[in-house]
Amino acid sequence: MSEGRSFMDFDALNAQAQGWIEQVMLWLQSPVFLAQLAAIGLAIILAPILAGLLRRLIPVLRTAPTPDANLFRARSIIYQTGQFLRAILLVAILALFATALRSISAFGEDWLVKIAQSLATVFLVYRAIRVFLADPFYRKVAVYILVPLALIIVLGYWDEFTSFLNATTVIPMGDNPITAMTLAKLAVFGSLFFWLGSVGNKRGQSAIRAQESLDSGVREILAKLFQIILFIVIAFLVINTAGIPTSGLVVVFSALSLGVGLGLQPIAANFVSGLIILLDRSVKVGDFVMLEGDVFGRIKSINMRSTTVATADGKDIIVPNTDFTENSYENWTHDSPLQRYEVDFGVSYDTDLDALVPIVRDAVLAHPDVLGDPDEPSVEFRNFGDSSINMCVEFWCRGIDDGPNKFTSDVGFIIWRTLKANNIEIPFPQRVNHQAPAPKK
């Protein structure tokens, strides 16, 4: 029985293959089919020729613009578009040939050219994604989403596809359920609006921070308020564009509230702490801070969740905003950039301290970064050491002794050179060993 069925299947496949072969032979004998095939071949030949000609005639398609060129952004887009100019011309030429074939009564058909045009359109979308999206993740997402959508559209199944999405209910909500189409719109318009929002946020914050007439703390507050308001507006635009009903918003906000209650308290706390930091201005961008655990550096940025502290060795330390509202820390430049520093040194017990003080003080004061106000350098006695009289120089400078500033190091060198030049001994620990006499025999 199975052997007879296999022979029947083979006969059916053979008959079907014979039918296909006969159909292809009929097409190859048909002037209409051959005309369409010739049109496709001619379009494939003409597209690269015309693309090369346009690149030679139009400089902006041939050479990438320099950053200082006029209309740099527009020129860059035109130049990038030129990288898939052949695909654009192929689609355009196939569309022109399809129209020409329909208008000629001897042919009157363009179905094969339409199929070729559809495939060329899908290839055009793929090339545009490869050129305009540099990030590998976004490029992969766009290829997996936009290319299938383009294929559905060009093959004429768009209406059936949208009807299927509209008919698929994800969350039943009375008369206005959330369907697969709603989620698709939410994903598409959400990605688009939030990408535009991120670009607008960067430019808006840069414009606000460029206002030198405003205090730095005020600029940071306005920048963060601009960011918050912008993304709230974008969120409502996305929701309205996706067609989510008001009742759906209640569900979404309820889920968010539950999420905050269960696991998002740290994020919410850091967000609120960031606002508190900006409003009370206890910390602002540019301040030099020292946190618990010997973490120190300049405040580089205050974000919605964390604060970035840039260290002198080129590292960025991400600190939760709650560390500035719940823990103690030192802000060295909160009210004034002036800082007092100390350098310890020792001299021998034979030194004339009364003569030493003005010599060292004047030498330190000669340093260009050492200030005479609020106080001049002060040479102070500390204690009597085992091998030296321990002294100290206190002096004021503008800025932090870190990174490009070497205040204490420079002053240490000045003290060493001054002592050497005045023949003042810098002692070092000495030990005297006494050997007991050998016992008499």
Amino acid at 205: Q
Q: Are 339 and 408 in contact (CB under 8 A)?
A: no
Domain 283-331 CATH assignment equals 3.40.50.1460: no
**Among the ranges given (191-195, 247-251, 346-350), the one the predictor scored with the smallest mean pLDDT:** 247-251
In DSSP notation, 34-71 reads HHHHHHHHHHHHHHHHHHHHHHHH-HHHHSPPPTTSTT
Determine which helix (DSSP H) or strand (DSSP E) holds 402, and give its type and residue range.
Answer: none
Q: Are 407 and 341 in contact (CB under 8 A)?
A: yes
Mean pLDDT of the chain: 78
pLDDT at residue 392, rounded to an integer: 93
- Give the pLDDT mean for 425-435: 74
User: Percentage of the chain surpassing pLDDT 70?
Assistant: 83
For residue 78, with 0-12 CB atoms within 10 Å meaning exposed, 13-18 middle and 19 or more buried, which class applies? middle
pLDDT at residue 256, rounded to an integer: 61
- Give the pLDDT mean for 103-129: 79
Residue 384 has pLDDT above 60, yes or no: yes
Residues of CATH 2.30.30.60 domain(s) within the chain? 283-331
Determine which helix (DSSP H) or strand (DSSP E) holds 179, and give its type and residue range.
Answer: strand 178-179
Q: Over the stretch 151-187, which tens digit does the pLDDT of each residue have? A: 777 767 778 888 888 787 777 766 677 788 878 887 7
For residue 313, with 0-12 CB atoms within 10 Å meaning exposed, 13-18 middle and 19 or more buried, which class applies? exposed
Helix or strand or coil: residue 5? helix
Q: Where are the alpha helices (DSSP H) in 281-346?
A: 322-326
Q: Over the stretch 358-373, which tens digit does the pLDDT of each residue have? A: 999 999 999 888 888 8
The DSSP secondary-structure symbol of 437 reads P
For 338-421, CATH gives 3.30.70.100
Cis amide prior to 437 (ω within 30 degrees): no
Confidence at 126, pLDDT banded by 50, 70, 90: confident
Quote helix, strand, coil % in the chain, to nearest 5.
60, 15, 25
User: Diameter of the chain by CA atoms?
Assistant: 141
pLDDT at residue 82, rounded to an integer: 83
- Give the pLDDT mean for 107-131: 81
Q: What are phi and psi of 318, to 5 degrees?
A: -90, 115
pLDDT at residue 1, rounded to an integer: 47
Quote the tokens at residue 294. 């010997």
Cα(169)–Cα(180) distance, rounded to whole angstroms?
6
Residue 439 has pLDDT above 50, yes or no: yes
Residues of CATH 3.30.70.100 domain(s) within the chain? 338-421
Q: 197-226: b or e for each residue (b if 16 or more CB lie within 10 Å)?
A: beeebeebbeebeeeeeeeebebbbbbbeb
Cα(218)–Cα(215) distance, rounded to whole angstroms?
5
Confidence at 262, pLDDT banded by 50, 70, 90: low
- Give the pLDDT mean for 210-238: 76
User: Strand pairing partners for 394?
Assistant: 342, 378
∠ Cα 75 86 45 (to 5°): 150
